[in-house]
Amino acid sequence: MSSAGVTVVIPTYNGARRVEAPLQALLAQQAPSACFEVVVVDNNSADGTARVVEDSPAVAGLRRRGVDVRVVHEARQGLLFARLCGIQRARREVICFLDDDNIPEPNFLADGLAHFEDAAVGVVVSRIYPRYETPPPPSISRREHLLAINHRMGDDLVDFGAGATLAPTIGAGLWLRRAAVLEAVPWRTPEQLMPDRLGNQLLSGGDIELGFLLGKAGHRRLYAPALKVWHVIPRSRFETRYFFRLIVGVVRSEQTLQARYLGRRSGGMARWKAFARLLGAGLASPVLAFRGDSVREILFVLASRWAQVQGPYPQLHETR
């Protein structure tokens, strides 16, 4: 039986150089130590991540405060498996996912838990701001939402309601009621779920799927702008080939979710329309060239249109 409070789950793969930052941020939380625990899921890392966590000054400080910090291992590679492992190993009523490059503000845990005093709430989405190591070029700044950034959603709380709808429940700083997850999500058969990030495959959508399944099961989903998290983004994310692949992965994953849960068809006329949009984007390249960072702007528009032509991932198209 879960106890009151929140389990902060930090999935990490080769995160030895990154994981200290979120741990330090948890040490600085204003919430009482008794209301949270920390589970770091080492997803088959090869850089000594587990040892780094155990030797972490932040972990030592958390333990001195009485916060339980555990490192658990998940040998199945992939973000989905790491998250499911964290859910299963959690001992509190609420789960909050933080990536190993996330830095929450000091009020994060106390204010986040307050939303779950309403028993109807099953999902809470945090407000994610970028912390760029170097300023992004214009073509990427216009698409920063692809980097798990949502601060432009605004300052007002948004209630996405409870229903079978796809809501922007991004995984960085995502809060879930554990009992609701265990009831609504087929965690025992993960092959039924979107695999999410797996090695070099830039699949996505696992977080959106979790939000959909909990909404379908009757749990309200909120966007809470007071829950502020900084997402540290290195310059390597701006590499053209990486971002091109990211666009294709995100667009195709979105189409996969729409096909699986909303019945959106991708064959026949839909495919021809996608081809027409790709052709139109090619013809519009001279106009796109007037935007800042013109070469990449053209490439990224074409990447999006090409992904629409490709459609959903065939192996993930249907629910199982």
pLDDT of residue 200: 64
Q: What is the mean pLDDT of residues 53-58?
A: 97
pLDDT digits (tens, 9 = 90+) for 225-237: 999 999 999 999 9
Bridge partners of residue 128, in order along the sequence: 229
* Half-sphere exposure of residue 39: CA atoms within 13 angstroms, side-chain side: 24
Of the candidates 122, 184, 166, 123, the residue with the CA atom closest to the CA atom of residue 260: 166
pLDDT of residue 212: 98
Q: What is the mean pLDDT of residues 306-315?
A: 84
Residue percentage of the chain with pLDDT more than 70: 89
319: exposed, middle or buried (Cβ count in 10 Å: 0-12, 13-18, 19+): exposed
pLDDT digits (tens, 9 = 90+) for 60-74: 999 999 999 999 999
Answer with the one of 206, 238, 270 that is the final residue of a domain: 238
Q: What is the mean pLDDT of residues 246-255?
A: 93
Same domain, 258 and 185: no
Answer with the one of 216, 238, 260 that is the final residue of a domain: 238
- Domain extent at residue 10: 3-238
pLDDT digits (tens, 9 = 90+) for 5-16: 999 999 999 999
Same domain, 132 and 264: no
pLDDT of residue 203: 83
CATH number of the CATH domain containing 86: 3.90.550.10
User: Which range, of 121-125, 137-141, 202-206, 221-225, averages the lowest pLDDT?
Assistant: 202-206
What is each CA distance from 136 to 59, 143, 186, 237, 288, in whole angstroms? 33, 10, 38, 9, 18
What's the domain count of the chain?
2
Same domain, 292 and 186: no
